[in-house]
Amino acid sequence: MNISQLKESKFLKKEDCGNGILVTIERVTQENVAKEGAEPEYKWVVHFQESDKPMVLNSTNGQIIAQITRSEETDDWAGHKIVLYHDPNVSFGGKIMGGIRCRAPRNAAPAKPAAAPPKQAPAQAALPAEDDSVPF
């Protein structure tokens, strides 16, 4: 048994995610994440259809989910699938300790950037004749 199993948590931990778990976002709520008996500390958490434990939402994961869902409005995230995984390179308090990261499922279409206005092609200058002495 790993000592991380000794600490029960009502929130997802990096050990719960392993190499990746596919989850469907159900909702985002604000909850008290403080330990029992401590002063209340409210943070945003993401609930999933496939898990009884929600994930405490940090800024990085929030930005990633916003890209995946193409919305910065958390109300729009419900129904979207994401993959949660343990990233050993996550730092906290200046120390690398690992943590949960999220990504889009591999078969999901990548987010498309906003359409840019069409650009006019620049006028082309006359090209010099090919030089057979250049090997590439």
Residue range 39-49, pLDDT digits in tens: 999 999 999 99
Structure confidence at residue 131 as a pLDDT band (50, 70, 90)? very low
Torsion of CA 119, 122, 128, 132, to 10 degrees: -10
Instruction: Confirm whether pTM is higher than 0.85.
Output: no
CB 33, CB 11: distance < 8 Å: yes
Nearest to 34 by CA among 26, 22, 43, 45: 43
List the beta bridge partners of residue 28.
46
Tokens of 74: 């958390």
Structure confidence at residue 104 as a pLDDT band (50, 70, 90)? very high
Single-letter code of the amino acid located at 27: R
Nearest to 24 by CA among 107, 100, 108, 83: 83
* Predicted pLDDT of residue 8: 76
Over 60: is that where the pLDDT of 132 sits? Answer: no
